């Protein structure tokens, strides 16, 4: 499996030289479009393990359409993931926004309205934007539940169920 040049360029720019064990196992499975559950310690490369196959599958597709939602339990994790999305997605021409509490909603709304391809969000703040009726999840093809166990432990299960119910059933969940 060869990676698209824009994906390879993003990996190279971020210092990736060889895949980690979780990436070696997860990426080929995710590239087939299967849903996937993966577990690993902090620092093992899990974020790239889900971003790389998503970016590969989005290579050459139409821009300006929301295709990816990444849900995380905390603002800090969302901002960290969004930073990786920006680094990897730069060469692929993909845009993203972190949708988190503790920050003004207007810039987040502007990014959503401008047509980002990727949203990295905490469930509560994503729900806030969904209530405003300018955010539709009808075009989402990839749903990532990062640290799902922690999200559920923190009481986000009802919000996650609501968000998932708004995303097409014909999607890949990682």
Q: What is the pLDDT of residues 13-39, one digit of tens each?
A: 556 677 888 888 898 999 999 999 998
Query: Beta-carbon neighbour count of residue 41 at 10 Å?
Result: 7
Spatial contact of 130 and 166, defined as CB atoms under 8 Å apart: yes
Tell me the pLDDT tens digit for each residue of 64-114.
999 999 999 999 999 999 999 998 888 788 999 999 999 999 999 999 999
Nearest 5°: CA angle at 119, between 55 and 22? Answer: 45
Tokens describing residue 74: 């905390």
Positive/negative CA dihedral, 16, 74, 147, 99: negative
């Amino acid at each position: 499996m060869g990676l698209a040049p824009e994906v390879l360029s993003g990996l190279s720019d971020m210092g990736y030289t060889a895949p980690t064990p979780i990436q070696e196992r997860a990426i080929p499975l995710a590239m087939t479009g299967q849903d996937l559950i993966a577990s690993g310690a902090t620092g093992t490369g899990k974020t790239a393990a889900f971003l790389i196959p998503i970016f590969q599958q989005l290579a050459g597709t139409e821009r300006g359409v929301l295709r990816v939602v990444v849900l995380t339990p905390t603002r800090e994790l969302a901002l960290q993931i969004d930073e990786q999305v920006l680094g990897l997605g730069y060469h692929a021409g993909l845009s993203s926004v972190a949708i988190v509490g503790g920050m003004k909603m207007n810039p987040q709304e502007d990014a959503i309205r401008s047509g980002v391809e990727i949203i990295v969000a905490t469930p509560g703040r994503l729900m806030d934007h969904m209530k405003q009726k300018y955010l539709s999840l009808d075009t989402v093809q990839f749903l990532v539940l990062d640290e799902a166990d922690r999200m559920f432990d923190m009481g986000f299960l009802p919000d996650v169920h609501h968000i998932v119910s708004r995303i097409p059933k014909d999607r890949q969940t990682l």
